[in-house]
A and B are shown apart, each in its own frame.
Chain A
């Protein structure tokens, strides 16, 4: 559905995209991660035809999206990071307008607007002006406008920013439903838990390239780290296999089960030492620790791994 090959883009002297390779298949949810300024929005903008690329190729549903952006646009849905809606028009008018632009007509358009409004819990708000909606409702409307036509590729750029718990759940449900219908979804977020909830594949954009790509579980297994630390008030005791790091006691070697390691260390402390203990820090392996490990490394050719074929 989406195939990005050796995509390059430079702003002035700064290469933002430096040979990006990315493939997203039908029904796949690809969580696109990267620090602020890593180039996620630039990448999405180029694929959606909003910006030009210096070189490379982008194929959307078999079409060359760089040479035929208008034709490719028929296959693309985009909810940009920045909210985009007409505050003076009603929810229904906003939805109907973008449905018209997507080529939906007559009864089909009305049915789809009603369907999407119901899916994103906006059915009761259709007659209200978009500017009067809460932040979460506006975010849902913003997302709804991108999914009106059944696209082959859907880009959701931080779709849950400012959304409350209910709005977020509604948006994630729609994402799952569209993926189940065969839409390839590229989902950027800084809320990594959402990607865990979606069971997404992960692509980490770092230093202008996709540094790591694979299924979430594989990325976590390969890169995530666990850590444990015991905090003390006063002198840090000596324990075999552990060392002092300021006022903390940390293990000499990486741990796989930080809770068990902490329990063993606590059992080894004598009562006087335990009395000075002020806290225990346990970090389990997660997508977050994997992401930090990946982006904390300088990019080398060795750390680009496709974990899932």
Chain B
């Protein structure tokens, strides 16, 4: 049960995101633009890989959605670090909200924004690029919802682990790009070198994209993607453990407005 204080913090988080929507809009428009450019090459690549009916959307739409979902984790970090820059973090801590209320309250709007971003990208991918999964849409929704939870936990783990926004930007963007790339966001994981394919298993992007690929191309249902979902839950718990270990509300953070 969410506390009223978490809900109040979430409401304010949503207002703050709406007050400065540019980062969210960029993460919606950019992947669609890139998808348009990447479609022809990806179509050829997929057809060579044994999918004669492929349009390219099967790879590009989920790939861009996952890549930009990683980049959107910086929003998670920004919303925490700006509290420090605005001097409101101490006020929140001095209020009647507990540390858990504060973290949950901040995470909810970011989870919803990430979910919305994924929904818009898959929806626009369907309308603009003809992305039509052959498998269960429910399974797709569950995979996306779980993957987003993993990324939000990744973002909070970054917040917990670093003391400045610059550090988070470097590690988060670089780590996010590497994980997304290894996981198959830019090219199917099966086309990557052997070492990269092995390393891909250690990234949540791989498990998310594998599940989405199975649903998109192979007509998979919820039971078929259960192993990938378990892997994503495992990553989420691992990031949550980092948060539990490293997150200290009293730590001084250097944020930017």
- What is the interface of chain A, defined by CB distance below 8 A to chain B? 48-51, 70, 73-74, 76, 78, 80, 82-89, 93, 97-98, 100-103, 145
Contacts of A100 in B (CB 8 A): 4-5, 8
The interface stretch among B13-21, B27-35, B43-51 is B13-21
- Are B19 and A101 in contact (CB-based, < 8 A)? no
Annotate B88-99 by CB proximity to A: 1 below 8 A, 0 otherwise.
111111111110
- Are A87 and B250 in contact (CB-based, < 8 A)? no
Give the docked Cα–Cα distance between A86 and B194 (Å).
Answer: 50
Give the docked Cα–Cα distance between A51 and B90 (Å).
Answer: 11
- Asked if A82 meets B257 with Cβ closer than 8 Å, knowing A51-B250, A73-B96, the reply is no
Contacts of B5 in A (CB 8 A): 100-101
Chain A CB count within 10 A is highest, among B16, B89, B96, B257, for B96
A49 touches which one: B9, B12, B87, B94 (CB < 8 A)? Answer: B94
Does B86 interact with chain A (Cβ within 8 Å)? yes
Chain A CB count within 10 A is highest, among B8, B19, B94, B98, for B94
Q: Write the nearest CB–CB distance from A14 to chain B, whole angstroms.
A: 18
Give the docked Cα–Cα distance between A80 and B95 (Å).
Answer: 12
CB-CB nearest in chain A for B88: A84
Contacts of A102 in B (CB 8 A): 95-96
- Asked if A48 meets B86 with Cβ closer than 8 Å, knowing A86-B16, A88-B19, A88-B20, the reply is no
- Are B8 and A97 in contact (CB-based, < 8 A)? yes
Q: Write the nearest CB–CB distance from A199 to chain B, whole angstroms.
A: 27
Annotate B198-231 by CB proximity to A: 1 below 8 A, 0 otherwise.
0000000000000000000000000000000000
- Asked if A97 meets B12 with Cβ closer than 8 Å, knowing A87-B86, A88-B19, the reply is yes
Give the docked Cα–Cα distance between A75 and B88 (Å).
Answer: 19
A and B contact pairs by CB, cutoff 8 A, 14 listed:
A50-B94, A51-B250, A82-B87, A84-B86, A84-B90, A85-B87, A86-B16, A87-B257, A88-B15, A88-B16, A97-B8, A100-B4, A101-B5, A101-B9
Q: Write the nearest CB–CB distance from A12 to chain B, whole angstroms.
A: 15
Chain A CB count within 10 A is highest, among B15, B87, B95, B96, for B95
CB-CB nearest in chain B for A70: B98
- Asked if A86 meets B86 with Cβ closer than 8 Å, knowing A50-B250, A51-B250, A101-B5, the reply is yes
Q: Write the nearest CB–CB distance from B22 to chain A, whole angstroms.
A: 12
- Asked if A101 meets B87 with Cβ closer than 8 Å, knowing A51-B250, A89-B15, the reply is no
Give the docked Cα–Cα distance between A78 and B89 (Å).
Answer: 13
- Are A89 and B94 in contact (CB-based, < 8 A)? no
Contacts of A88 in B (CB 8 A): 15-16, 19-20
Give the docked Cα–Cα distance between A70 and B5 (Å).
Answer: 13
A78 touches which one: B8, B16, B94 (CB < 8 A)? Answer: B94
Contacts of A78 in B (CB 8 A): 91, 94
Within 8 A of A (CB), among B66-96: 86-96
